[in-house]
């Protein structure tokens, strides 16, 4: 019996009917069985591809990608996924479309969706605005489908907004599963640094869902919102997950994975002096890795990373007296690092 057949039989045992014709907006609104289903299908597709078997689900159709922010890994992952399933990716470049001439979101959404089966949107440039745009776009499609403009309603996949990054979180957990020899309920993941950013939040959500011990290790000035922590702890009461955060280095002990992200994105240069002061004590170094007391602890990062001074931004900030490296090469280039497998 092939691995794919075994995985298909497992899929039949899961309660996932509600996933059909629904969007993937948030990490936290999926059940543990629905997340299990995503992992199972991903594993089956990998098995088929490795055995050079056909993975195409569609004979034709489009996967529309809308990237309102820069992207490398997510952009190529979405394109690869479309190709794997038999869809052709079409990139909607707002500067090269009628959007630049004032076409509304409703008009654009309906126009590009006639032959589309899935639409991936990334928009995390403005706090409070990322998901708003996605919701506006998909509400327009729902209206168009209801009014008979569209024969079918494409599914939306959140490729990152300002509070969540579902595809990143799923890839992170898959990487953890592939590199640990114990069930997720026995794993501990520590996010180091700015524990209130969107990647930290989506990791906290999915860890709570899957019963993983989650720690946010960072300064109190950048602690996660109390309501988010409370929500995840409530979920953890059902799954057995522990959710905690703080500045104590003891929190690192027993970690199966250390995770971090850059301290300041493009356009946030004015925040660098404050961020460097707050976050340098939480930089992932060889000493921090040793503090886990787990020689098999892996290092994860959503990328891109400032792990040396070869980038223009890191080099220019160094000249100004700021070391913006959130991780050192001692860790980033070590055998413990799984960042490229993760990507």
Q: Write down the pLDDT at residue 325.
A: 97
Lowest pLDDT segment from 13-22, 50-59, 119-128, 292-301: 119-128
pLDDT at 127 > cutoff 60:
no
The answer to whether 177 and 184 have CB atoms below 8 angstroms apart is: yes
Angstrom distance (rounded) from CA 322 to CA 162? 26
Neighbours of 312 (CB within 10 A): 8
- Residue scoring higher pLDDT (265 or 17): 17
Lowest pLDDT segment from 113-127, 180-194, 195-209, 270-284: 113-127
Angstrom distance (rounded) from CA 122 to CA 335? 31
**In the chain, at which residue ranges do the beta strands (DSSP E only) sit?**
62-67, 88-91, 116-123, 155-161, 188-192, 213-217, 243-246, 257-260, 298-301
Q: Write down the pLDDT at residue 186.
A: 97
Q: Write down the pLDDT at residue 33.
A: 92
Tokens 């919701």, located at residue: 135
Neighbours of 13 (CB within 10 A): 10
pLDDT-derived band at 130 (thresholds 50, 70, 90) equals: low
Residue 303 falls in which region: left (phi positive, over 0), alpha (psi -120 to 50) or beta: left
pLDDT-derived band at 101 (thresholds 50, 70, 90) equals: low
Q: Write down the pLDDT at residue 234.
A: 97
Give percent of the chain with pLDDT exceeding 70: 95
Structure pTM?
0.90
The answer to whether 239 and 269 have CB atoms below 8 angstroms apart is: no
Neighbours of 319 (CB within 10 A): 8
Give the helix, strand, coil percentages of the chain, each rounded to 5.
Answer: 50, 15, 35
pLDDT at 102 > cutoff 80:
no
Rounded to the nearest integer, the mean pLDDT of the chain is 91
Q: Write down the pLDDT at residue 61.
A: 92
Query: Among candidates 311, 313, 225, 226, which has minimal Cα distance to 269?
Result: 313
Mean pLDDT of 273-302: 97
Q: Write down the pLDDT at residue 267.
A: 63
Mean pLDDT of 62-70: 89
């Amino acid at each position: 019996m092939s691995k794919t057949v075994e995985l298909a039989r497992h899929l039949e045992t899961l309660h996932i009917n509600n996933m059909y014709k629904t969007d993937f907006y948030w990490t936290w609104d999926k059940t543990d069985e629905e997340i299990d289903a995503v992992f199972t299908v991903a594993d089956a597709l990998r098995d088929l591809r490795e055995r050079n078997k056909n993975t195409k689900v569609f004979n034709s159709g489009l996967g529309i990608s809308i990237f309102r922010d820069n992207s490398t890994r997510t952009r190529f992952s979405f394109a690869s996924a479309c190709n794997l399933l038999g869809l052709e990716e079409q990139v909607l470049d707002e500067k090269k479309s009628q959007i630049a001439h004032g076409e509304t979101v409703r008009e654009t959404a309906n126009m590009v969706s006639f032959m589309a089966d899935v639409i991936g949107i990334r928009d995390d440039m403005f706090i409070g605005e990322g998901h708003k745009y996605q919701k506006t776009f998909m509400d327009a499609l729902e209206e168009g489908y209801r009014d008979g403009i569209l024969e079918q309603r494409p599914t939306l996949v959140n490729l990152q907004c300002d509070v969540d990054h579902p595809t990143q979180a799923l890839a992170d957990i898959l990487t953890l599963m592939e590199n640990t020899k114990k069930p997720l309920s026995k794993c501990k993941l520590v996010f180091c640094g700015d524990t209130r950013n969107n990647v930290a939040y989506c990791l906290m959500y999915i860890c709570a869902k899957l019963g993983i011990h989650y720690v946010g290790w960072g300064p109190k000035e950048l602690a996660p919102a109390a309501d988010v922590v409370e929500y995840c702890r409530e979920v953890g009461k059902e799954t057995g997950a522990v959710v905690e955060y703080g500045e104590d280095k003891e929190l690192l002990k027993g970690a199966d994975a250390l995770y971090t992200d850059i301290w300041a994105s493009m356009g946030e240069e004015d925040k660098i002096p404050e961020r460097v002061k707050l976050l340098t004590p939480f930089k992932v170094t060889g000493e921090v890795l040793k503090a886990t007391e787990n020689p098999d602890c892996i290092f994860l990062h959503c990328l891109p990373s400032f792990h040396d001074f070869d980038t223009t931004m890191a080099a220019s900030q160094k000249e100004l007296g700021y070391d913006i490296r959130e991780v050192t090469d001692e860790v980033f280039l070590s055998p413990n690092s799984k960042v490229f497998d993760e990507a």
